[in-house]
Structures are given as structure tokens and as C-alpha cells.
């Protein structure tokens, strides 16, 4: 196994339960991949994903790999309100979790009667797209006729001539079906995944649909606690980890994967090899049945870790999206005593897209100015800040340019699909966010079920039931 990220560890635990002897080789000194942690002066910050969507993925992992369920290993808390938007004109919209009716009422008050109904109609069409693609895109190995996923499943409105001529982009859906500031809410939710609404297919609406339907969840103690729980489950299943052991290449003998060559020249034999990192990092034959081997272009992120004096206000929300013509900022303010030295302090994380596929991130001072729109009195409360750039992400994970892969989506001619979990080299499999079905904690975890199924059941494996 190459890499100790979330997808690789999910695969390792499932394979170990199936009777395989599994060894994980990790280039860094710890597990978790992008799910990192920074601690300083009693403050603690997640340096990767700050929320979990589709927690059922990890519930299933823990059910299938041991006696203790996920909730016995970590404390999951649903985020409510789901998200607060601070629009460029100063409008503040706080959307509740779960209830479509409550969300519609908030939108009617903010944007006028009918706004909530239009929003729910869009998410209703997104539900149709979700139902059409959930299994082939998320729960099954990438099908041999993967080109069918290049068609956008989002139901187009007949009244638009443009939508009849070609599939719409997400930005066009936001403009035509919602309009104005309400449409910007939809675009912002998609942009937060590292996707450009101007080029993303309309099917990207499944992402806010997924959040509204299944919720956004936080792990008490920080998201790093989830990585620790998965790592400990691997240890319980006798998975071996070798840290500070970068892999140079996959060994091939008799036309199939036969092991690994480590950077120090040591060779290790294997019946199967699972690559849990960006496969472009390795010298290995990885074309996968005609699927584009690169996957979608991925943006990086610049993140500020902010240590603040003063207690977290009672009206603060966990996640705020700050809209701006220059960039979009995500502000995370977990109400978690484990992340701060005392009740009279607060740990806040702010991040903006940058690098490949995203605009250049503003300087740290500009990010602080934007963050102050979500955290009143920010500069007066600031004790210190630490900046993390895409170069830091690249150093931690090896991802070229510090890129963070978005989830796979149907549409766009297949441009947002990832390489299949099987490869042109028998015995070599791909797991993690750089393989089908793409990035994000949930999607990376799904690769564990897919790759383990392909190895254990072989070509007859058709996905989870």
C-alpha cells in the first residue's frame, strides 16, 4: 500500500478483515494524508478538511471492519446552522440544517417571496441527478463505458433555448433558475469544493443537495480525530505502517504488479499493490482503460490559522462563506473546547482557493480583511496567525502544486471523472482522492470499499449493495 491517506487506510482495513496481510508505506512521518493538525500555545487547527459529508461512508467502514461502531470511536456533531453566507453587498443569509421548509422561509425573507420555492425546485432537480448517478459514480467501479457519465444528468428547463442547444453550466443554472444574489448562493456552495461554476456542469448542484439532505458533520476534537480513529482501526486489524518510507516506483514482473521499490533502494514483494496517492507521482504504467489519466484540474488552498483572544460569541456559526469579487473565503469557527486553551479564546480557520484551477489567493492581509466580515472585531482579537500555502500542502502530501482534488461529477464530457480503481497493470489498484470517485473525505473513503471489493471478488465485483 502506497500512502497512509484516508482512502488508503480505508482500503487497508477492509483488506485486512478479508484476510490479507497489509503493509502501508508512507512518505511522511504520520498518517491521514491531507487530514492534518497544527497545535501551538494551546490552540489546535485542522489543516485539511474541516467538515464531513456523507458520514454513512465511515459508519459502513467501521461496521465492516470491527465491533466498535464509528460513534464509539469519535463524536460526530451535525453542524446547525448549515452555513452562513455573507454576500458582497453585506447581505447575511444563515441557512438552517435539514429542513427544506425552514431554509425556504429564510430565503423568502432575504430575497423576497418565491425565492425559497425556486431554491427547492433546483435542489429537487439536483436530487434527480443524484439518483441517476449515485451508484455508477459513487458506489460502483468506473464502468467500461464510462463515457455515458459524460452526459449531464441535471434535468434542463424546457423554457430555455440555450439549455436545449447544449447542457448548461452550474453558473447558468444559478442565473436562469435562481437569479441574482440567490443564484450566487448556489454558485458559492459549488465553488467551495474547488470547482468553477462557469465551467462546472449543472450536475454540480448535487453537492449542495447532498449537504442539505445528509447534513454537514464535525468530529469533536477536530477532523484529525477521524483520521486517528481509522488509523487505530487499521492497527486493530494488524495493518503494518512504515513511515518516512517514500516509494520510488511500482515493480512489474511477468506483466503484473509485483511489489514496490522504495527510495532507499529496498524492494518489497506484494501480490497486489494499492496506490493511495496521486498516481502521477510514481513511475508506473497507469493508463486505466481509456479514462483520462489526469483527472480534473484541481485548485490549491491558502489557509490562515487564527488564534483569537476572547470567547466565541453565542451567535457565531460553524461555517461562513464570505463572497467577494476577488475571491471566496471559507471561515470555520468550531465550538470545540479541545481546540482552544480556554473559554476566553477561539480558534478560527479561514481558507481561499488559489493555484491551478483557481484565482491567485489574496495576500494574508487581504484575507484577514475578508474574514473580519464573518468575525467582527477580528483584528482587535488576533493574538497570532499562521499561513499555510499550497507549498505546505505539497510538502505534507506530495500533491503537485498542493492541489486538492474535487469530487467526481457526471457531465462536462467526462472531464470531471478520475482514473478507474483498476489500471492497465494487473495487480495495481488506485485508491484515495486522485482515483474514482474523486476528492473529499467521503469520496476518498468510498475508494476503500471499491478497491477492496475488486481485490477480494475480482472482476465480478459490481459495487456495494
Give the sign of the dihedral formed by CA 48, CA 232, CA 437, CA 409. Answer: negative
85 backbone φψ class: left, alpha, beta (φ>0; ψ -120 to 50):
beta
Alpha carbon distance 327, 369 (integer Å)? 12
Cβ-count burial 33-64 (b if 16+ within 10 Å, e if not): bbbbbbeeeebbbbbbbbbbbbbebbebbbeb
Alpha-carbon distance values, 32 to 110, 380, 444 (Å): 40, 35, 11
For residues 20 and 237, the answer to whether their CB atoms sit within 8 Å is no
Domain with CATH 3.30.70 in the chain: 298-397
- Which helix (H) or strand (E) is 289 found in, with range? none
Task: Give the pLDDT score at 64.
Answer: 96
3-class secondary-structure state, position 161: helix
Query: What pLDDT was estimated at residue 36?
Result: 95
Give pTM, 2 decimals: 0.94
CB 375 within 8 A of CB 332: no
Superfamily of domain 6-34+53-74+221-296+405-460: FAD/NAD(P)-binding domain (3.50.50.60)
The pLDDT profile of the chain, 465 residues, written as one tens digit per residue, is 999 999 999 999 999 999 999 999 999 999 999 999 999 999 999 999 999 999 999 999 999 999 999 999 999 999 999 999 999 999 999 999 978 899 999 999 999 999 999 999 999 999 999 999 999 999 999 988 888 899 999 997 655 554 456 789 999 999 999 999 999 999 999 999 999 999 999 999 999 999 999 999 999 999 999 999 999 999 999 999 999 999 999 999 999 999 999 999 999 999 999 999 988 777 655 554 445 556 678 888 999 999 999 999 999 999 999 999 889 999 999 999 999 999 999 999 999 988 654 566 678 899 999 999 999 999 999 999 999 999 898 888 888 888 899 999 999 999 999 999 998 899 999 999 999 999 999 999 999 999 999 999 988 888 765
pLDDT at 359: 62
Residues of the chain with CATH 3.50.50.60: 6-34+53-74+221-296+405-460
Rounded distance, CA 25 to CA 6, Å? 14
Q: What is the pLDDT of residue 163?
A: 47
Closest CA to 304 of 348, 361, 354, 344: 348
Burial of 253 (0-12, 13-18, 19+ CB in 10 A): exposed
Question: Collapsing DSSP states into helix, strand and coil, what is residue 8?
Answer: helix
The pLDDT assigned to 401 comes to 83
Question: Of 60, 16, 128, whose CA–CA distance to 446 is shortest?
Answer: 60
CATH class in words for 298-397: alpha beta
CB 342 within 8 A of CB 386: no
Amino acid at each position: 500500500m502506497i500512502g497512509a491517506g484516508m482512502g488508503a487506510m480505508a482500503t487497508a482495513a477492509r483488506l485486512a478483515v478479508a484476510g490479507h496481510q497489509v503493509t502501508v508505506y508512507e512518505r511522511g512521518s504520520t498518517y491521514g494524508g491531507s487530514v492534518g493538525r497544527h497545535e501551538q500555545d494551546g490552540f489546535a487547527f485542522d489543516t485539511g478538511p474541516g467538515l464531513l459529508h456523507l458520514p454513512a461512508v465511515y459508519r459502513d467502514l467501521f461496521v465492516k471492519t470491527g465491533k466498535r461502531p464509528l460513534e464509539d470511536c469519535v463524536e460526530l456533531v451535525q453542524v446547525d446552522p448549515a452555513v452562513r453566507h455573507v454576500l458582497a453587498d453585506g447581505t447575511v443569509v444563515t441557512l438552517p440544517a435539514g429542513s427544506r421548509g425552514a431554509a425556504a422561509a429564510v430565503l423568502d425573507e432575504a430575497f423576497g417571496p418565491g425565492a425559497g420555492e425556486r431554491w427547492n425546485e433546483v435542489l429537487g432537480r439536483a436530487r434527480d441527478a443524484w439518483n441517476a448517478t449515485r451508484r455508477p459514480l459513487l458506489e460502483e467501479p468506473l464502468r467500461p463505458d464510462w463515457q455515458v457519465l459524460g452526459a449531464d444528468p441535471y434535468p434542463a428547463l424546457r423554457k430555455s433555448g440555450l439549455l436545449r442547444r447544449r447542457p448548461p453550466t452550474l453558473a447558468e443554472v444559478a442565473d436562469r433558475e435562481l437569479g441574482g444574489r440567490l443564484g450566487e448562493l448556489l454558485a458559492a456552495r459549488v465553488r467551495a469544493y474547488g470547482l468553477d461554476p462557469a465551467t462546472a456542469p449543472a450536475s454540480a448542484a448535487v453537492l449542495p443537495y447532498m449537504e442539505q439532505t445528509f447534513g454537514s458533520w464535525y468530529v469533536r476534537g477536530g477532523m484529525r480525530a477521524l483520521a486517528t480513529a481509522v488509523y487505530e482501526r487499521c492497527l486493530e486489524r494488524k495493518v503494518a505502517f512504515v513511515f518516512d518510507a517514500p516509494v520510488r516506483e511500482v515493480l512489474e514482473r511477468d506483466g503484473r504488479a509485483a511489489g514496490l521499490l522504495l527510495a532507499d533502494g529496498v524492494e518489497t514483494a506484494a501480490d497486489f499493490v494499492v496506490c493511495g496517492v496521486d498516481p502521477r507521482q510514481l513511475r508506473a504504467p497507469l493508463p486505466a482503460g481509456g479514462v483520462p489519466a489526469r483527472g480534473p484540474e484541481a485548485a490549491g488552498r491558502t489557509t490562515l490559522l487564527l488564534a483569537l483572544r476572547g470567547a466565541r460569541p453565542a451567535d457565531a456559526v460553524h461555517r461562513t462563506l464570505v463572497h467577494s469579487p476577488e475571491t471566496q473565503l471559507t471561515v470555520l469557527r468550531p465550538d470545540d473546547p479541545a481546540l482552544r486553551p480556554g473559554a476566553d479564546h477561539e480558534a478560527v480557520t479561514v481558507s481561499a482557493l488559489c493555484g491551478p484551477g483557481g484565482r491567485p489567493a489574496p495576500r494574508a492581509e487581504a484575507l484577514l480583511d475578508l474574514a473580519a466580515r464573518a468575525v467582527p472585531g477580528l483584528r482587535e482579537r488576533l493574538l497570532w496567525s499562521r499561513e499555510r500555502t499550497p507549498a505546505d500542502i505539497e510538502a505534507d502530501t506530495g500533491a503537485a502544486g498542493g492541489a486538492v482534488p474535487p469530487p467526481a461529477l457526471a457531465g462536462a464530457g467526462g472531464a470531471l471523472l478520475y482514473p478507474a480503481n483498476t489500471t492497465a497493470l494487473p495487480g495495481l489498484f488506485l485508491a484515495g482522492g486522485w482515483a474514482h470517485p474523486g476528492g473529499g473525505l467521503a469520496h476518498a473513503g468510498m475508494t476503500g470499499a471499491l478497491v477492496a471489493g475488486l481485490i477480494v471478488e475480482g472482476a465480478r465485483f459490481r459495487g456495494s449493495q
